[in-house]
Amino acid sequence: MKRIDDPRAFGRVAVVMGGRSAEREVSLDSGRNVLAALKARGVDAHAIDGIPALLDAVRAGHFARVFNILHGQHGGGEDGVLQGALQSLGIPFTGSGVLGSALSMDKVRSKYVWMALGLPTPKFVPLTRGADAARVHAAAREIGFPLIVKPACEGSSVGVSRVFDEKDLDEAVALARRYPGDLLMETLIEGNELTVSILGREALPSIHIVPKGAYYDYNAKYLAGDTQYLCPGLQGDAESELRALAMRAFDALGCSGWGRVDVMRDRQGRNWLLEANTAPGMTSHSLVPKAAAAMGIEYKELCWRVLETSFEGDAA
């Protein structure tokens, strides 16, 4: 990763946040934190809300590069659309390019890629948005209970349900259908939830997430103060193997710059890839800052290093 010493080398930076996705509020929270951190380090950084305003400003020549902290799809800036627009305008940005962003946002296609490479991911069935009840229940019988139902292209645990019995299946599908796009049904892996953050070409220490409730839902991620975060999440060879798997999964999807890979570790000690995130949260509850802190990288330095990734790879 190219290292920058002088904040003037970044030029005028747009910190794009908010947008129109289901994750707007999380993105605004992340963006405010990133903006304050960059300003504190002397970067000429400015907040921009959403893709249309950003592209207008970029076309007018107001910014030299973009720190993308939008989350989600359909105006969320994490699905490859913004990346393509910025590449066409020759504007560097943080995070993955078009391919990595689009593949990671689509959980179904992410899993197809991982399966093709022999990487472990839970058994799944993709469901079109219009799948009828017969198809839904047939898919559930194919997967077996317990299972997960979720939108195929959302993040932050929105629309996700754990289903232990067929009587609760229709309600879970109805919740997932509140969000745009198709659905994904997959085996519920019972065990420990872990995540591995990626910064440049380095996998940071894993985090074992221990929510007070049954699992790590939206409330536990962003609202509750009682979730425990154990970092590193594993020790010795198990930790090394997990970090290596996360980096392979990240690379397999064409991701670059920075991100996060979420994993379930079952009770037999096997790791199962869930999803990759190309613009992870940077709130006070978020996981990438916690992993960085375990390596002695404080929040302002982390934001600086993420901004440095805009000089690399697809974003350059």
Dump the DSSP string for the chain: ------GGGG-SEEEEE--SSTTHHHHHHHHHHHHHHHHHTT--EEEEESHHHHHHHHHTT--SEEEE---SSSSSS-SSHHHHHHHHHT--BSS--HHHHHHHH-HHHHHHHHHHTT-----EEEE-TT--HHHHHHHHHHH-SSEEEEETT--TTTT-EEE-SGGGHHHHHHHHTTSSS-EEEEE---EEEEEEEEETTEEPPPEEEE-SSSS--HHHHHT-S--EEESSSS-HHHHHHHHHHHHHHHHHTT--SEEEEEEEEETTS-EEEEEEESS---STT-HHHHHHHHTT--HHHHHHHHHHGGGSGGG-
Which CA distances in Å does 258 have to 23, 200, 278, 306, 313? Answer: 19, 6, 7, 7, 11
Give the pLDDT mean for 110-120. Answer: 97
> Does the pLDDT at position 5 exceed 50?
yes
Q: 175: buried, middle or exposed (CB in 10 Å: 19+, 13-18, 0-12)?
A: middle
pLDDT, residue 75, reads 67
Which CATH topology does 104-121+190-294 take? Answer: D-amino Acid Aminotransferase; Chain A, domain 1 (3.30.470)
Give the pLDDT mean for 272-285. Answer: 92
Quickly tell me which residue has 């179904």 as its tokens: 108
Encode pLDDT of 201-228 as tens digits. 999 999 999 987 665 555 555 555 678 9
Active-site residue numbers? Answer: 23, 156, 222, 260, 262, 275, 277, 281
Encode pLDDT of 31-57 as tens digits. 999 999 999 999 999 999 999 999 999
Q: What is the CATH number of domain 7-94?
A: 3.40.50.20
pLDDT, residue 314, reads 38
pLDDT band at 166 (very low <50, low <70, confident <90, very high): very high
Percent of the chain predicted with pLDDT > 70: 92
pLDDT, residue 53, reads 97
pLDDT, residue 224, reads 58
pLDDT, residue 316, reads 36
Cut 0.85: pTM above it: yes
pLDDT, residue 279, reads 94
> Does the pLDDT at position 142 exceed 90?
yes
pLDDT, residue 214, reads 63
- Which of 83-92, 101-110, 119-128, 207-216 comes out lowest in average pLDDT? 207-216
Which CA distances in Å does 149 have to 14, 46, 76, 248, 278? Answer: 36, 38, 22, 26, 22
Which CATH topology does 124-187 take? Answer: Dna Ligase; domain 1 (3.30.1490)
Question: How far, in Å, CA of 151 to CA of 137, rounded?
Answer: 17
Per the CB < 8 A criterion, the answer to whether 186 and 143 are in contact is yes
> Does the pLDDT at position 245 exceed 70?
yes
Between 72 and 119, residue with greater pLDDT: 119
Residue boundaries of the structural domains of the chain: 7-94, 104-121+190-294, 124-187
pLDDT band at 158 (very low <50, low <70, confident <90, very high): confident
> Does the pLDDT at position 234 exceed 60?
yes
Cα radius of gyration rounded to whole Å, the chain: 19
